[in-house]
Amino acid sequence: MKKALLILLALLATASLKANDGAFYAQGNHLIPITETTISVRKEILTITHMADTITGWGDMFKVNVYYEFFNPGPAKDVIVGFESPTPDGNGYGGTLDEAYKGQPYMYGFNVVMNGKHLPHQIAHVPYKYEGDYQFDYTRKTEDYYKNGQVQDMPKEQYKANLRRYFPEEADAEEAALDYYGYLFYYVYHFNAHFNEGLNTIQHTYTVKGSDLVMTDYLFDYILTAANRWANNGIDDFTLILNMGDHTSFSVRPTFFASPDEWTFSGKGKIGERREMIGMCENCPMFHVQTGSLVFKQKNFHPEGELHIMSDALYLYMYDFQEGDKDEIEGFVNDFKSKYYNNLLLDDEQPVDISKFTPEQKRIVKNVPFAYRGYVFKDKGLQRFFESTDWYIPNPDYQADMSKLETGEKKWVQFWSK
């Protein structure tokens, strides 16, 4: 079956961030102190909001809004604060080096407001360490770029010279490196922050493009462990709010929390478990959000892992509908049991011969958008099917209303009503 092949491809893609089966555009990161560590993070509210990409016109974006409260125990002082970000990777970026040097191509609206005042920033380009035999150290260390009292910025010509030294056998070392490794440097956005004695606030906002693999709708990573570089080795009071949208399913890898029960829903939702291995996430918690947000809170938070969010994709081209394969058709219908698939309802226009489906199968698929909203079906067969799903939450107050569905959902219901 096609599904098995695509799952295998997705597994291969996750084996290395340098694979061509994934596009890794950008990630989020906690602010770090570049010049000292006596200041602590008293409070942080990290809000991540998923949205359609209105800039490139395709894919997904994530708005990151971080509210910090920092405590300076001593006299007022200036500190250089930084934000580290990798360049795009995989098959995600075909731009020129000149374009890449202007800043992270898929990061927009980088803005810092400290104690009510906007702070300008600069961007440095820091090379990854070459270890020989075409191996690179991709870790990021402040001491690698803060030297002689300033943040070091690698000029483009130096970067090109490095590549010629790394790849002496390649006629075009820059193209050879880009094809496999991506650009071998990372960005350090940095700014001068004046910390008053006592409490200080920073509001940090930016938007990044979501990444993806073969079998995912989107991926989003945020480096939490950078918070451990502050004086208190973490965050005294941490809140994480994930606004991934209504009637949506996504996984969060359990790297910084022990149990999915540590999370709460601001609206209606259910917690399930991922059964298959996709994107390095097997037996991960699966969060099904009918309405509202997913929230994680912890006091004295010292993260030991990063935030990895992933939403699966389901595309009609994965199935041999035209051949009338009963197993394929039944598999497609049953795939709705495990999670929400809004990407299929809204985006996929692959033609389907619905004559191959039984009347019961067509009724199930047609009514998926209403079930997402918790509609209680009068038809006992439909109700039994949706109650057997991992995500269905009955909402007796919801009345089915075609006019309030999204455009793609209306087309979906009309198509399966034939």
Q: How far apart are CA 259 and CA 317, in angstroms?
A: 36
CA-CA distance, 277 to 254, in Å (whole number)? 14
Reported as a single tens digit per residue, the pLDDT across 178-220 is 777 788 999 999 999 999 999 999 999 999 999 988 778 899 9
Query: Is the Cα dihedral 220, 225, 229, 232 positive or negative?
Result: positive
Q: What is the pLDDT of residue 278?
A: 63
Between CA 61 and CA 218 the distance in angstroms is: 9
Q: Which two tokens stand for residue 293?
A: 């947000």
Signed CA dihedral, 253, 259, 260, 263: sign only:
negative
Answer whether 93's CB lies under 8 Å from 26's CB. no
> For residue 214, what pLDDT is reported?
76
Low-confidence ranges of the chain (pLDDT < 50): 1-20
pLDDT value, residue 18: 40
Walk me through the domains of the chain, giving residue ranges and CATH numbers: 15-312 (2.60.40.3680), 321-415 (1.20.58)
